[in-house]
Every structure is written in C-alpha cells, then in structure tokens.
Amino acid sequence: NIPVVTAAGANAVAVAEHTLALMLALARRIKPAVKSIEEGRWDRHSLTGVGLRGKTVGVVGFGAIGAEVASICSNLGMKVLVAPPADESTVSPEATEKRKQRLKKSEAIEVDCLRDLLQDSDIVSVHLPLTDSTRHYIGGDQLASMKQGATLISTARGGVIDECALLECLKNSVISGAALDVFESEGSQVSEDSVLMELAQLDSTVITPHVGGHTVEAQVDVWTLVMDRLLENLHVTD
C-alpha cells in the first residue's frame, strides 16, 4: 500500500491573514488610492474609507481558515456571524463538536440560515471547499440579499462564487466591493476577455492570483507536516 498524506490546515493562518489584508484593502480603498498616486493625483478627500471596528463580518465556511478569520476579526472588535454548514448531511459528530469549540473561542454567533447572515453582515467572507453542493453557492440571489454597501471576500475555492453574477452586481452597485483570491479559471486558462479580467478592471475590486497560502512560514509548516505524516506512516509500515 502507498500512503497518501495531506497538510490540511497547515496554511490556515496565512490564508486568514490574506483575508484580513483583502478586507482592509477594500475598506480603506487601497487600490484607487495607489492608482491616484500612479496617475499623479492627490485625491485624499475622495478616498475616505471605513473602519472595521464595530462592523459585522459574516463567515461562510467555518473550517480551520474560517475559524482563524473569525478569531482575528473578533479581536479587532468586529461582531462575527457564522453561516450553518452548506451541507448538514456531511457533518460528522466530531466535526460538530469541533465547530462548537471554534464558535466559543472566536466569540462568534451561528445564525439559522445563510440569508440571515447575508442581510446582517457588512462584510461576507467565504471559506468553503468546492463541491457539487457549493458550486455557485454565492450567486445572484445571494448577492442581492446582501445589505446595501456590503463587501464580499473570497479566499475559498474558485467556483464557489458565481463570477458572472458578481460582475453584474458590482456594475449595478448591488454591493460596494469584492476582493477575490480564487477563481473558476486560473493561470494560463485566463483569457484577456474573461470575466476575471473584467472584474480586475473595476475600482471596486481587489484581485490577487491565489496567493493566500503563499508565505514563507506557511510553506515551511506545510512541508514539515507532510514529512511528519510520511514518517509516521513509514513507521507503521515497518
């Protein structure tokens, strides 16, 4: 038998920190601020941002990354709401118990349904895996349910957000901004006329090329965990 090991959760802190960076970039209007300087303009008065303290963040997907985001936001003085699992039937008793512990640690509140979270959150941060039940989990109807002026963050997996619906909602000011690190098509699959490139051209977006888990520390943690688990398996085989 050939052992197969994973490093699930090893880069959770790195992805959570990137999520916070995206939140701050939207809240403080970093993209248009940088653009104004590059174009030789000094637009302080038109670049007034908003603070995070006192705002409500809704976390959709409460695994290791979502829980880390919730803890960071709670420590910043934000109210944290958590959506119920996308597919309750796949949640084990062990996962349910771990979820309760994470909710308590982060001082987060679990809401009854996704719609309640969308309607009450100033920021919605998505951290779901991509499965048959989560593909386009955040689509046109869900975006339309978000409160006026809210922003969307995704460091989850490409395909969880319906990018076409998001583009239309941003163009029509249904929500005020979006920051994405993951996409349905990435790398060499991205064409110049893709939805991703259209999203990237908007002042109301912040787009990064799937770098959430790419820190020096996270890469060391991932490889260390993989090697530890490989050695454990080799020892068992002996």
Active site positions, annotated: 157, 186, 210
| CA 154/CA 203 separation, integer angstroms | 17
Q: Which two tokens stand for residue 140?
A: 């046109």
Instruction: Quote the DSSP letter at residue 85.
Output: P
How many residues belong to the chain? 238
| CA 186/CA 209 separation, integer angstroms | 8
Q: Which amino acid is at 42?
A: W
Q: Tokens 């490139």 — which residue?
A: 197
DSSP three-state, residue 138: strand
